[in-house]
């Protein structure tokens, strides 16, 4: 697969005229080239020709990185090393953001490009007017053969390349074989949303192993059901299940973006009651639209971008409120409800309607009302429910059984498509499903279940380990042994040590942060105050120079702010709200000046699910901090923490 705008042997590149190379670049770009881009290419060609003359290897201009929505300026395959070049022509400094950018490109190739896994990769930031910084020329390769970024200019470029070639080890790169290597990324949900919205196919941004095949199969199955619903004039509801991180949200976004640009009745809307997820996705998409317009020499205002994005990603409560005010059918015939199990039950909906909407006596749960809104379409409509198991974390969340009961009670003509795993205990829908046994037009499809986590490209069974850990299952120790070679999970008792560990692990712009339970009230002595309302947009999207971002390791996020999102590296700081003691979990809530037992089963489930969410946030690894405690503080006695620490040690976690 040709993933670059221009490729040739280095000899062929040096022998070709500049205008010929520019013509190929422009032709393969697929869009009108603005003058700034053409000038940048021309200067890169002029710089590289004399520097590369006489070298053997291959050169690639504008090499695609779909997961990031970016292209590498220049890629060189010389002997046994890939050189990733980011050009800042005319720049007299090496900006930190540019260093991270070229490092990200190198890491992307190493992690996600099949034939780059075992190759030495050297990211180089080429600032043509910058001074030579001899102190920065030292070479130190990481264990995975990705060099730390090399800062270069035309004066030292060749010397640095030779040093790298001498330092690195490995077999010579077969360029033909390397070019044919599969690109198998595992994007974060933010990266996936950006790539899909730009028009990339899901195959461009997902792995090609069993989990990705499952993802494609699920998507194709849903699209066929949608097309059949339109052709046969059916009203349909589907239930898609999956383990944490398996790609349920990615499936939903993929279905919605597949229909962008088609006739209105085929457009889908992605709906979520997860306010932080909606806010972060909207802001990321809007910022990206503005940035891409700027790259094209155009101007798109933030307000305009935000309005366009809003039609694609909406808060389910805003959708509900619009349907309350307008009795007509919704604009979209295809509605995708993410985390459908978190929709409100009848009591919570009625309370909200009475207190906030001044509608006393409201008699529908949120699932029933949402289905009734889509039922207003006269001929056909499709509702897609994306269902996570064991993720209810808030009062009034109905679980998936409320959706099934709503269909059974009020919509007899609707066709129902069920994942075959919906009967599993974590979805808590068994009794409701039993009542559906005699109903017509019910189909059970195994392809509506996503069974393998894609959140972590380092280890697919993190969610299994978390489940075993929380279930106090002895198998957790064996699973950890399999995990830790590629996915480090470590333990410590000092938050400062954990911060040092996070910063040491992360490379490029890999994001890290601290997450805690929303009930972790006695972490205040560690400068962690869960009552401070962290803005998830700043925390997830802003850069290393912003004190509000996760990078600063000052503001923390709770399960409410991180559910559905992820980071590369995570510090989970454990408080005394959730304690292991005498072989079982103990549930506590801090009220006033002391801890109190949580006896209500529903609240216990919310607390254990909160820790389930926190422990499933990291894509590459995590550190768990269990504080030492302080016997002079009756709210933070050492015994509150030691038993949990001992359990985690017994499971096999190593302390740093």
Q: What is the pLDDT of residues 79-103, one digit of tens each?
A: 999 999 999 988 888 999 999 999 9
- The answer on 69 and 23 residing in a single domain is yes
pLDDT at 204: 64
- Long-range interactions of 532-535: CB distance < 8 A, separation 24+: 534/558, 534/561
Any idea how long the chain is? 656
- Number of neighbours of residue 461 by Cβ within 10 angstroms: 18
Question: Does the residue 87 lie in any domain?
Answer: yes
Structural domain includes residue 165? yes
Final residue of a structural domain among 392, 425, 450: 450
pLDDT value of position 210: 43
C-alpha to C-alpha distance for 520 and 625, rounded to whole angstroms: 13
pLDDT for the residue 217:
85
Q: Which of 364, 367, 306 is nearest to 340 (CA)?
A: 367
Shared domain check, 36 and 79: yes
Specify whether 261 is located in the same domain as 343.
yes
Asked whether residue 201 is assigned to any structural domain, the reply reads: no
Residue 546 domain-assigned (yes or no): yes
Q: What is the pLDDT of residue 90?
A: 81
Q: Domain span at residue 51?
A: 4-179
Task: Identify whether residues 23 and 157 lie together within a single domain.
Answer: yes
At 518 the pLDDT is 96
Residues 6+ apart with CB under 8 A from 154: 47, 51, 128
Q: Identify whether 301 is part of a domain.
A: no
Strand partners, 337: 271, 385
Beta strand spans in 110-234 (E): 120-127, 150-152
Torsion of the alpha carbons at 42, 43, 46 and 48, rounded to the nearest 10: -110
**Are both 631 and 501 inside the same structural domain?**
yes
* CA 327 to chain CA centroid, nearest Å: 36
Do 155 and 241 share a domain, yes or no? no
Number of domains within the chain:
3
Output the pLDDT for position 257: 78
**Is 115 found in the same domain as 14?**
yes
Q: What is the dihedral of CA 357, 362, 368, 370, to 10 degrees?
A: -20
Please tell me whether residues 511 and 390 are part of one structural domain: no
pLDDT score for 137: 46
The domain boundary, picked from 179, 211, 235, lies at 179
Q: In terms of domains, do 503 and 398 share one? A: no
Whether residues 444 and 359 fall in one domain: yes
Compute CA distances 250 → 150, 171, 564, 572, whole Å: 35, 37, 11, 25
> Is residue 649 domain-resident?
yes
Alpha-carbon Rg for the chain, nearest whole angstrom, is 27
Q: What span, in angstroms and rounded, lies between the C-alpha atoms of 173 and 170?
A: 9
Instruction: Select from 534, 536, 535, 542 the least CA-distant residue to 511.
Output: 542
- Residue range 545-565, pLDDT digits in tens: 999 999 999 999 999 999 889
375/422 same-domain check: yes
Residue 214 lies in a domain: no
| DSSP 8-state code for residue 317 | H
What CATH number does residue 371 fall under?
A: 3.40.50
Do 437 and 323 share a structural domain? Answer: yes
Identify the pLDDT of residue 186: 78
Domain boundary among 400, 420, 450: 450
- Does residue 538 belong to any structural domain of this protein? yes
10-residue mean pLDDT profile of the chain (656 residues): values are 90 96 89 80 94 95 85 96 93 90 94 92 91 58 84 91 90 93 82 79 57 73 94 95 80 78 66 90 91 80 86 86 91 90 86 89 91 94 86 64 89 93 79 85 91 66 91 94 91 97 95 97 95 94 95 96 92 97 94 94 91 94 96 96 96 94
């Amino acid at each position: 697969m040709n993933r670059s705008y221009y490729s040739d042997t280095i000899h062929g590149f040096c022998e070709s005229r500049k205008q010929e190379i520019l013509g190929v670049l422009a032709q393969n770009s697929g869009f009108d080239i603005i003058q700034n881009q053409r000038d940048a290419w021309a200067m890169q060609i002029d710089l590289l020709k004399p520097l590369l003359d006489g070298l053997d290897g291959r050169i690639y201009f504008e090499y695609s990185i779909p997961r990031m929505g970016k292209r590498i300026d220049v890629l060189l395959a010389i002997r046994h090393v890939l050189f990733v070049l980011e050009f800042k022509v005319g720049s007299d400094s090496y900006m930190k953001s540019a260093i991270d950018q070229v490092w990200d490109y190198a890491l992307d190739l190493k992690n996600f490009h099949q034939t780059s896994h075992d190759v030495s990769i050297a990211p180089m930031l080429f600032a043509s007017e910058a001074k030579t910084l001899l102190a920065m020329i030292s070479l130190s390769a990481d264990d995975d053969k990705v060099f730390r970024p090399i800062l270069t200019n035309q004066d030292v470029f060749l010397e640095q390349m030779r040093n790298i070639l001498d330092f690195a080890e490995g077999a010579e790169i077969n360029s033909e074989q390397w070019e044919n290597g599969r690109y198998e990324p595992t994007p974060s949900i933010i990266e996936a949303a950006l790539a899909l919205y730009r028009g990339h196919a899901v195959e461009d941004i997902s792995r090609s192993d069993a989990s990705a095949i499952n993802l494609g199969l699920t998507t194709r199955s849903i699209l066929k059901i949608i097309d059949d619903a339109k052709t046969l004039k059916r009203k349909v509801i589907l239930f898609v299940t999956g383990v944490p991180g398996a790609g349920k949200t990615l499936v939903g976004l993929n279905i919605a973006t597949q229909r962008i640009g088609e006739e209105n009745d085929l457009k889908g809307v992605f709906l979520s009651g997860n306010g932080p997820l909606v806010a972060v996705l909207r802001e990321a998409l809007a910022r990206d639209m503005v940035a891409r317009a700027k790259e094209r020499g155009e101007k798109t205002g933030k307000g305009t971008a935000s309005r366009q994005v809003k039609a694609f990603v909406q808060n389910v409560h805003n959708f509900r409120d619009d349907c309350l005010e307008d009795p007509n059918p919704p604009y979209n015939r295809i509605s995708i409800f993410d985390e459908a199990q978190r929709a409100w039950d009848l009591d919570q909906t009625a309370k909200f309607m009475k207190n906030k909407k001044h509608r006393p006596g409201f008699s529908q749960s949120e699932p029933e009302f949402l289905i009734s809104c889509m039922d207003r379409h006269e001929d056909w409509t499709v509702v897609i429910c994306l269902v996570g198991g064991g993720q209810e974390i808030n009062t009034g969340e109905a679980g998936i059984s409320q959706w099934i009961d709503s269909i059974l009670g009020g919509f007899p003509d609707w066709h129902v498509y069920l994942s075959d795993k919906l009967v599993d205990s974590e979805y808590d829908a068994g009794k409701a499903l039993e009542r559906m046994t005699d109903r017509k037009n019910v189909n059970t499809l195994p392809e509506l279940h996503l069974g393998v986590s894609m959140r972590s490209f380092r280890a697919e069974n993190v969610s299994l380990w978390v489940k075993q850990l929380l279930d106090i299952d002895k198998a957790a120790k064996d699973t950890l042994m399999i995990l830790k070679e590629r996915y480090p999970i470590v333990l410590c008792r000092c938050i400062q040590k954990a911060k040092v560990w996070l910063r040491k692990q992360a490379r490029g712009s890999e994001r890290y942060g601290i997450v805690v339970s929303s009930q972790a009230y006695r972490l205040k002595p560690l400068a962690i105050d869960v009552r401070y309302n962290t803005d998830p947009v700043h925390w997830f999207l802003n850069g290393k120079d912003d004190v509000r971002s996760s990078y600063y390791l000052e503001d923390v996020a709770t399960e409410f702010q991180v559910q559905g999102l992820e980071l590369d590296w995570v510090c989970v700081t454990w408080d005394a709200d959730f304690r292991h003691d005498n072989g079982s979990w103990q549930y506590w809530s801090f009220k006033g000046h002391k801890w109190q037992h949580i006896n209500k089963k529903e609240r216990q489930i919310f607390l254990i699910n909160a820790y389930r969410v926190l422990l499933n946030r990291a894509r590459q690894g995590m550190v768990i901090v269990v504080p030492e405690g302080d016997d002079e503080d009756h709210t933070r006695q050492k015994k509150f923490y030691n038993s949990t620490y001992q359990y985690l040690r017994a499971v096999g976690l190593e302390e740093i």
